[in-house]
Amino acid sequence: MAARLYDLELSGNCYKVRLLSALVGVPLEIIPVDFLAGAHKQPPLSDLNPFREIPIFEDGALALRDSQAILIYIARKWGGEDWLPADPAGLAQVSQWLMVAENELARGPNDARLHDKFGYTLDVALARSKSARILALMEQHLAHEKWLALARPTIADIACMPYVALGHEGGVPLDPYPAVAAWVDRVKALPGFVGMPAI
Ligand SMILES: N[C@@H](CCC(=O)N[C@@H](CS)C(=O)NCC(=O)O)C(=O)O
């Protein structure tokens, strides 16, 4: 039985899971969630994820929440050493960027997009200033590195790319960050790449 993703097409967090699955070649059963109607806040989805968020990933009896955790699972189960190495240094170097996806990027360009595109009530000026900070750090890093964590693409890149590339929908375009834009293009050029609306 194929693994199952409870999905929203416009969600960058769900997209991370679709993207890595496509790159690794893992077939997914996609279950679209009626997000506007709040299906994620009611049973059966709220039983699968009491945090009442998507993505939710099911593989047999296992139900997982959180896009970063799902990327870790897919990488280790189906991706061998390629996308998430097991050696302590490599694992930690990738993890550093998974934390950036969950913190700086979630509270930066993701929040700015939630405000502008979906009408969420939040401090958009703060989200834009957090975006500027993390994108400047990424620009500095990617000016001399091809990929975020290692000398090859890893789930660090898959976790971080979507909300960086979607930033323009929240008033955070990449024009001031040419090295970041070039990295987004490198991710887009990976064999098996799939896009989403606005990427
Ligand atoms: N840390 C979680 C965050 C998931 C998340 O915030 N998902 C959004 C959709 S992209 C959601 O379900 N929000 C619930 C809501 O706004 O009601 C992850 O990385 O998957």
Please report where in the chains the tokens 């806040």 appear, as a residue. 41
The Cα 126–Cα 107 span in angstroms is 9
- pLDDT category at 92 given cuts 50, 70, 90 is very high
- Ligand 1 pocket residue status of 67, Cβ below 6 Å: yes
Residue-range domain boundaries for the chain: 3-78, 88-188
Distance 18 CA to ligand 1 centre (A): 15
* Model confidence at 132: pLDDT above 90: yes
CA of 53 to the centre of ligand 1 (A): 4
Residue nearest to atom 17 of ligand 1 (CA): 53
CA distance 128 to 107: 9
**Ligand 1 and 21: CB distance under 6 A:** no
- Please state, in angstroms and rounded to a whole number, the distance separating the CA atoms of residues 88 and 53: 31
Judged on CB neighbours under 10 Å (0-12, 13-18, 19+), 121 is exposed
Choices 3.40.190.10, 1.10.150.120, 3.40.50.1220, 3.40.30.10: CATH for 3-78: 3.40.30.10
Ligand 1 atom closest to the Cα of residue 70 is 20
∠ CA 101-41-163, nearest 5°, is: 20
Q: What is the mean pLDDT of the chain?
A: 98
Q: What is the DSSP letter of 74?
A: H
Atom of ligand 1 nearest to the CA of 35: 17
Q: For residues 134 and 157, what is the distance between their CA atoms, to the nearest angstrom?
A: 14
Q: What are the angstrom distances between the C-alpha of 44 and each of 38, 50, 56?
A: 12, 10, 12
* CA 4 to centroid of ligand 1, rounded, Å: 17
Average pLDDT over residues 174-199: 98
> Does 71 contact ligand 1 (Cβ within 6 A)?
no
pLDDT digits (tens, 9 = 90+) for 15-69: 999 999 999 999 999 999 999 999 999 999 999 999 999 999 999 999 999 999 9
Q: Give me the architecture of the 88-188 domain, per CATH.
A: Up-down Bundle (1.20)
User: What proportions of the chain, in percent to the nearest 5, are helix, strand and coil?
Assistant: 55, 10, 35
Report the predicted TM-score, pTM, of the whole model to 2 decimal places.
0.98
Ligand 1 centre distance from Cα of residue 192 (Å) = 25
Same fold, 3-78 and 88-188: no
Atom 2 in ligand 1: residue holding the nearest Cα:
66
Total length of the chain: 199
* Ligand 1 contact via 55 beta carbon (within 6 Å): yes
Q: Is 110 in the pocket of ligand 1 (CB under 6 A)?
A: no
155-165 vs 67-78: helix crossing angle, rounded to 10: 140
- 97-106 residue pLDDT tens: 999 999 999 9
Tracing tokens 């975020």 back to the chain, one arrives at: 148
